[in-house]
Structure 1
Amino acid sequence: MSKILEMIEKRNKAWEGAKAFLESKRDKDGLISEEDAKAYDEMEAKVKNYSIEIERLQKMDAIEDELSKPINSAIVSKPIAGQVNEPEKKGRASDEYRKDMLKAIRSNFKQVTNLLQEGVDTDGGYLVPEEYDKRLIDVLTENNIMRSLGTKITTSGLHRITVTATKPAALWVEEGGKIPFDDATFGQITIDAFKLAVGVKITNELLYDSMFPLESYIIEQFGKAMGNAEEDAFLNGDGKKKPLGIFHKDGGAMSDVTTAGVAISSDDIISLVYALGRPYRQKAKFIMNDQTIAIIRKLKDGNGNYMWQPSIKEGEPDRLLGYPVFTSAYAPLVEAGKPAIAFGDFSYYNIADRGTRSMQELTELYAETDTTGFIAKERVDGKLILPEAVHLLTVKAK
């Protein structure tokens, strides 16, 4: 037996043993002690470690196979120095712009080159270099599940999306009979761009310290703050000077599934899944709060099996009835009369970034405290363009 197959067999046995241990330790209320929970967590961690080791062995095999391939022809020519076909970066994409921006930041924007003048924002400040902008988007995505699940578009103005309102229907007709024609109608959804801003203050001592990673610090702080504000709006926003959220009662997802009782049951989850149209279920996912997950993990199906399926591979989401589960601190808590879980194809949630982000420096405002302020701004909007693509589970009112 190969090493990989042996590890797979060990992982399977470990997982079965973990499940059996969990079942054997439950009391009459279906709960386990803190000590048993710790033991189970260790078993689950061991299963994940097996998965990591299996993946490592598979990569090693792939490398061995690649190295064992014969070389068909020798390399007889040397690469010509400077022979690179990459286009020259200009403007905000250039290395010069990035370096000049960092120099300007450290000098309280007293050293502003002519190159930076190309990136002056109409609202004040300087446009973020393209490399900075990309890294800021990376941070936003890492701290914002909706940016990874939704569809991102970039626009220079109002963005209109055409959506079919009615569709033609096929009918059976007699031979030689008149073929009916239906008029397909279309509607338009307009996506705007609302301003989101965040500011940080940095002591001038750090600002002038060349050893301090100022660039990374500012990007990380701005990215986390903007990512949190965006995710909250993408889930709960009312559309007034901010995006329209998935969970909002007007313009959000379809709220047509209500729990049978005041608590969420396994039957309620099944009803939610099949309330969603079959085409949308192919890419469907769950979004819920951590506290809701704590409730869901205790639910079983009609055969006594847990509906929750923990991920056995690092980096992959847990699953519920076979569908990935994403958690957000901004998803609603379980409250009577309010939606608690969203399920659907979130690619129909469109996120529109207008233009690029800009940065502005404030020196005089905080001069008394020997600090300098920095402001980052962006314009963004978000909207679910097809409500039927996402359904909500609402907890029954008491």
Structure 2
Amino acid sequence: MTEQTKNIAANRSALEIKTVPDTVTGAFDDFMGAFEAFKDVNDRRLGEIESKLTADVVTRDKMDRINRAVDEHKQVLDQLLLKKARPPLGRPGFGSSGSPEHKAAFEAYIRGGDEASLRDLEAKALSVGSDGDGGYLVPPEIDSEIGRRLAVISPVRALATVRQVSSSVLKKPFNTTGLASGWVSETAARPQTSTPTLSNMIFPTMELYAMPAATQALLDDSAVDIEAWISSEVDVVFAEQESAAFVSGDGVNKPKGFLSYTAVADATWSWGNLGYVATGAAGAFKPVGPTDVLVDTIYALKASRRQNGNFMMNRRTQAALRKFKDADGNYLWQPPAVAGATASLMGFPVAEAENMPDIAADAFPIAFGDFRAGYLVVDRVGIRVLRDPYSAKPHVLFYTTKRVGGGVQDFEAIKLVKFSAA
């Protein structure tokens, strides 16, 4: 078999996912093989552009197919990592201090509606978690399980600062201007310096809900892990709603996403707005020095914020950036070094957020910043479950709610890339 034939066979295998690997290592190897095939074809495309000023149609089509295959392999890898990140509920020794009693009472409530034990437990604990409208707090191990899964699924939640509160609103003072100081001689007068300016920021929590249903026969089956079922049903819908709201939510009955704040050119930035750097071309990177905008965006952040910087974009934007090289011929986008790590762009981690917009005129498909400093997620402690066996007979509904809010807390810590001429 010639070297050319070997390359063709390798590229062909990279285009298909014939069987889904059942291990993270296997999926990671497939992903890296697809990326190496992508680099080979992209190098050929760039060589054709350099020699003939245009790439061959066959080469372009092949590169697009392999680029899509890289994304597909990455999705398979992400799903396996997500599955691996979900520890089983009810493992031995977990929550041994007082937890088994609450867990047994909660299971009795879920299966048969017996709330006497839960009432006694919450009365003993002087709980403020349930009120007159009914509903009981999920046992702590379920509550934390859902929270861990959301951290994997929602990239903003994983990167942002998360605060838990017991009231419906978090008020956070923020120092927008620091103390003034100055140099004086030994005997000179000491005039009063200006005082810092505090901005009072308000983060209300909004209600996020899901209402899965189960038949009574399912609940009567003691072999069914009801707690795992509630978690698996709720975590996906909660994560999807959260992910969208943290990026582009309008703040009406939902958190306010960072893309919903007013964006201004970074040269004229002021507190309360997010600064952006324009690509120099409407709906595209500029033809000459297309990646200069990424460098400008990185260095638009102060050094203390830049050290913890992350890029955030969707897969389609990553596919466009995957084709770029630096002056030395090195790819700017690099795959994760090991399974479970994240890809990087110009040395900074890349967080995939499918709710980020696609590349288009005047859109903001790329964000860069220290999201832990820049964005705040507010969780009201406790996930509540209200059992309803009456509204949808013969099904039993489980009205599951959580109070969550969010918004930008430091407007200097996040910068955007705008695909526009200016």
What band does the TM-score fall into relative to the shorter chain? 0.7 to 0.9
CA deviations 1:348-371 (Å, max 9, x no partner) are 21111113110011111111xx21
Specify every segment of 5 or more residues in structure 2 that has no aligned partner in the other structure, as ranges: 1-32, 74-93, 264-271
269, 275, 279: which is aligned to 1:259? 279
1:89 and 2:113 equivalent?
no
Which AA in structure 2 matches 1:168? L
Match of 1:167 in 2: 178
How far apart are residue 324 of structure 1 and its match? 0.1
Match of 1:182 in 2: 194
Which AA in structure 1 matches 2:379? D
1:326 and 2:351 equivalent?
yes
* Pair 287,217 (structure 1): closer, same or farther in 2 beyond 3 Å: same
Match of 2:3 in 1: none
How far apart are residue 111 of structure 1 and its match? 6.0
1:134 and 2:144 equivalent?
yes
Contact residue 289 and residue 332 of structure 1 kept, 8 A: yes
Match of 2:307 in 1: 282
How far apart are residue 175 of structure 1 and its match? 5.4
Which AA in structure 2 matches 1:222? V
Within a 5 Å distance, the mapping from 1:3-152 to structure 2 comes to 21-22=40-41, 24-26=43-45, 27-28=48-49, 34=62, 89-90=97-98, 94-107=99-112, 109-110=113-114, 112-113=116-117, 114-115=119-120, 118=123, 121-122=130-131, 123-152=133-162
1:374 and 2:382 equivalent?
no
Q: Give the alignment's TM-score, normalised by structure 2.
A: 0.72
How far apart are residue 32 of structure 1 and its match? 5.6
Contact residue 311 and residue 366 of structure 2 kept, 8 A: yes
- Structure 2 distance, partners of 1:40, 1:224, is 25
* Max Rg structure: 1
Contact residue 314 and residue 356 of structure 2 kept, 8 A: yes
Within a 5 Å distance, the mapping from 1:236-275 to structure 2 comes to 236-250=248-262, 254-262=274-282, 263-264=284-285, 265-275=290-300
Match of 1:8 in 2: none
How far apart are residue 142 of structure 1 and its match? 2.0
Q: Give the alignment's TM-score, normalised by structure 1.
A: 0.76
- Structure 1 distance, partners of 2:274, 2:64, is 41
- Structure 2 distance, partners of 1:195, 1:19, is 44
Within a 5 Å distance, the mapping from 1:337-376 to structure 2 comes to 337-348=362-373, 349-367=375-393, 370-376=394-400
Q: Give the match's secondary structure for 1:387.
A: coil
Q: Give the match's secondary structure for 1:388.
A: coil
- Which stretch of structure 1 is more off in the superposition, 322-331 or 149-158? 149-158
| Residue correspondences, number | 338
Specify every segment of 5 or more residues in structure 1 that has no aligned partner in the other structure, as ranges: 1-13, 46-85
Identity %: 28
Contact residue 95 and residue 141 of structure 2 kept, 8 A: no
1:311 and 2:321 equivalent?
no
- Structure 2 distance, partners of 1:155, 1:16, is 44
- Which stretch of structure 1 is more off in the superposition, 164-173 or 122-131? 164-173
- Structure 1 distance, partners of 2:145, 2:35, is 42
Contact residue 174 and residue 199 of structure 2 kept, 8 A: yes
Q: Give the match's secondary structure for 2:177.
A: coil
1:387 and 2:411 equivalent?
yes
How far apart are residue 213 of structure 1 and its match? 2.5
- Which stretch of structure 1 is more off in the superposition, 32-41 or 159-168? 32-41
CA deviations 1:206-241 (Å, max 9, x no partner) are 222222232211111111111111111111111222
- Structure 1 distance, partners of 2:171, 2:42, is 54
Which AA in structure 2 matches 1:178? A
Contact residue 139 and residue 220 of structure 1 kept, 8 A: no
Q: CA RMSD in A?
A: 3.2
Contact residue 305 and residue 413 of structure 2 kept, 8 A: yes
CA deviations 1:238-269 (Å, max 9, x no partner) are 12221111111349861331110121331111
How far apart are residue 124 of structure 1 and its match? 2.1
How far apart are residue 117 of structure 1 and its match? 5.3
Match of 1:62 in 2: none
Which AA in structure 1 matches 2:229? Y
Match of 1:11 in 2: none
Q: Give the match's secondary structure for 1:242.
A: coil
- Which stretch of structure 1 is more off in the superposition, 244-253 or 233-242? 244-253
Which AA in structure 2 matches 1:89? S
- Structure 1 distance, partners of 2:399, 2:235, is 12
